[in-house]
Amino acid sequence: MRSWIFLAALPLTQATRVIQSNDDGWAEINLRTFFNVLTKAGHNVVLSGPAENQSGTGSSDAAPKTVDSDGCQFSSCPGGSPPTGSNSSNPRLNYVNSFPVTSIKTGIDTTAPKFFNGAKPEIALTGPNVGSNLGIQVPFSGTVGAAVYAAKDAGIPAIAFSGKSGSPTAWNQPTPFYSQVYADLALNLTSKILASGAPYLPDGVWLNVNFPEVTSTECNSANQFKFVLSRINWGIFSAKDVETCGTDRLPTENDVVGAGCYVSVSPGDASDKTTVDAERQKVVLQKLQGLLSCLP
């Protein structure tokens, strides 16, 4: 079930220039479902993802190469295809035969400007990743690596989305229920950030967002989820966090997604992929007022 009531309750925003990527591959259904949801919401979207599954490649970067004889993932391009290419029926869907960082870099520098009248993207959205990216997993995630590149090297506010449910699925298979729920949730958070006005995030800050498991009996529509501000790494020896929910220590991502229908939203530092300081947490907290909740 689509969460139209919740989506309609958020402030409407003008069409935004969006660059998309992931590490599971350009033909994975989570990425394509989110592309469709963003496009239907009226945004100006260009997708630039790796030709193959590049999970766990972090911030690796290398020049794209000619596609191997076995072709792109899920037979989405033939063997021997050029290092970069696009879908024959929709040129906004693009592959880059390299790492996630290379894919989003190519999208930002080369592909997107063709559709944005020479302008650069206003926001970078990666994922939803197939599988969580929590705590110690964060530095190794290519979905995170692509978002961090956008925030740090390209100066573009970025959000990395990941979801616990599912397994790699081809774009041309029936859309899994969890994939639609994750796309709706990602749109809800993105809409809130865009409605808060530019600059959408502080310089050098990206958001690491993790969705819990979607089941048929609970957590099965976007309306059932609540967003909670969190931190990527444990903060036992760090300075105090922004004060919210009656405490100056944010819950960890694992604590949030393990609590039920709760989504963790962690402001990350693009310089080292760890939690940002309280001052920048406060900016994110203010931008997400009205969307964020507290753990029970």
- Residue 9 pLDDT > 90: no
pTM: 0.95
Q: Which has more pLDDT, 198 or 8?
A: 198
Pair 151, 269: CB distance under 8 Å: no
* pLDDT band of 238, cuts 50, 70, 90: confident
Q: Calculate what percentage of the chain has a pLDDT beyond 70.
A: 96
Return phi, psi of residue 127, to 5°. 90, -160
For the chain, which residues make up each domain, given as ranges? 4-287
Q: What is the mean pLDDT of residues 6-21?
A: 68
- Residue 272 pLDDT > 60: yes
Pair 73, 51: CB distance under 8 Å: yes
* pLDDT band of 198, cuts 50, 70, 90: very high
User: By CB neighbour count within 10 A (0-12 exposed, 13-18 middle, 19+ buried), where does 83 fall?
Assistant: middle
Q: What is the mean pLDDT of residues 137-150?
A: 98
- Residue 24 pLDDT > 80: yes
* SS3 label, residue 126: strand
* pLDDT band of 237, cuts 50, 70, 90: confident
pLDDT tens digit sequence for 68-121: 999 999 999 999 999 999 999 999 999 999 999 999 999 999 999 999 999 999
**DSSP letter, residue 2:** -
* pLDDT band of 122, cuts 50, 70, 90: very high
**Who contacts 255 (Cβ-Cβ below 8 Å, separation ≥6)?**
230, 295
CATH topology of domain 4-287: Stationary-phase Survival Protein Sure Homolog; Chain: A, (3.40.1210)
Closest CA to 166 of 134, 130, 138, 136: 130
Q: What is the mean pLDDT of residues 33-50?
A: 98
* pLDDT band of 163, cuts 50, 70, 90: very high
User: Across all residues in the chain, what is the average pLDDT?
Assistant: 94
**Who contacts 177 (Cβ-Cβ below 8 Å, separation ≥6)?**
214, 216, 220
Q: How much is the pLDDT for 6?
A: 41
Q: How much is the pLDDT for 236?
A: 80
